[in-house]
Copies of this chain bind each other. A is one copy, B any other.
Amino acid sequence: MIKVTIVGGSGYTGGELIRLLINHPEVEISAVTSRQYQDLPIYKVHPHLRGVELKFTDLKSDSDADVVFTATPHGSSMKIVPDLLETGSKVIDLSGDYRFRDFSIYEKWYGLKHTAPLDAVYGLPEIYREQIRKADLIANPGCFPTGGILATLPLSKEKIADRIVIDSKTGVSGGGVKASEAFHFPNISDNINPYNIIKHRHAGEIQEKLNEFSNIKLSFTPHLVPVIRGILTTSHSFRSDDNLNLSSDKLNEIYKKEYKNEPFVKVLEVGEIPRLSSVRGSNYVHIGGFEIDEVGRIVVISAIDNLVKGASGQAIQNMNLICKFKENESINHFGLHP
């Protein structure tokens, strides 16, 4: 039994951490912090958690935690993570602050000076499982990068493509719990809203990770869609000169081989299309498509739940790895379809 603290527990990722951890047989949630809601029962903010007997606390109570999840905004995490590590806790940070190996790239995309650079492991088990097991600080991947990297990783590893356009469609929960004009129901419903069409931060994150395997010219455009949860990533990739004869079947085989031991990645058959509802509320990733058109474009599509595999579920997967629990403990349920 370990003690776990959630710092910044009033947002959607905080709510998901509690929802998923509350049934974890090896975990006791010792504190959920929120400056704004201190002393309020958690279910007043997370109405689905009525029945959970926890109140929000302030930050200092987290000192004896074995694992701390920092569900804090970028810029805030860097202010608290060093102290948390100091106390001996393992830290899984859900912000962008520790996701970049090269902090100057972080500073470029986030427009912030990084005041506390530290070694961290990028918490995508499908690439870094062994490093995660031994890490003290995990940078939990962004939601778009999780969907985007897993959809294209074999293209980079096997040097199949040299140019990739990622056209992503995200549910609105990705924007967080706070109301704003952009998330006002009449502005989202019956609309499809592209945003940050050439300069979303997650472009930098995807680029850095794919470039560890080969040199990719990456383009990324996200769209806000009238969906609560889920990211559907459509990747359009162009084969490098050495791969002009690659077939769909061969491509599919490469993906199956890449992910054959992954507990949460399901590789579909050629022509099968992933659905958001198949992974809704779950930690699974479905990857499908694998078709190649007459002008040599490869289409690979992934579906994730942005709050689970794209955030809190993956964070728990990382915790399970660090703590030597079963990797899928408390996150092994299937998606909520329909």
Binding site for B on A (CB under 8 A): 12, 15, 19, 22-23, 46-52, 163, 165, 167, 169, 171-173, 177-181, 183-195, 197-199, 203, 217-219, 221, 223, 225-230, 232, 234, 236, 266, 268, 273, 275-282, 284, 286, 289, 291-295, 297, 299, 301, 332-338
Contacts and interface: CB of A to CB of B under 8 A. Distances in A.
A185 B229 contact: no
Contacts of A184: 177-179, 183-185
Contacts of A193: 273, 275
Contact of A301 (B19, B190, B194, B334): B194
Contact of A185 (B51, B163, B185, B197): B185
A193 B169 CA distance: 11
Contacts of A295: 163, 217-219
A230 B167 contact: no
Given A19-B333, A169-B169, A197-B299, 10 more contacts: A48-B336, A48-B337, A167-B167, A167-B234, A171-B190, A177-B338, A186-B228, A186-B277, A190-B228, A225-B226
A293 B47 contact: no
B165 A221 contact: no
Copies per complex of this chain: 4
B180 A297 contact: no
B332 A23 contact: yes
A261 B187 CA distance: 30
5 contacts: A19-B334, A22-B334, A48-B334, A194-B301, A281-B336
A190 to B, nearest CB: 5
Contacts of A268: 50
Which residue, A19, A192, A282, A335, has most C-beta atoms of chain B within 10 A? A192
A334 B232 contact: no
Most chain B CB within a 10 A radius of its CB, from A15, A199, A236: A236
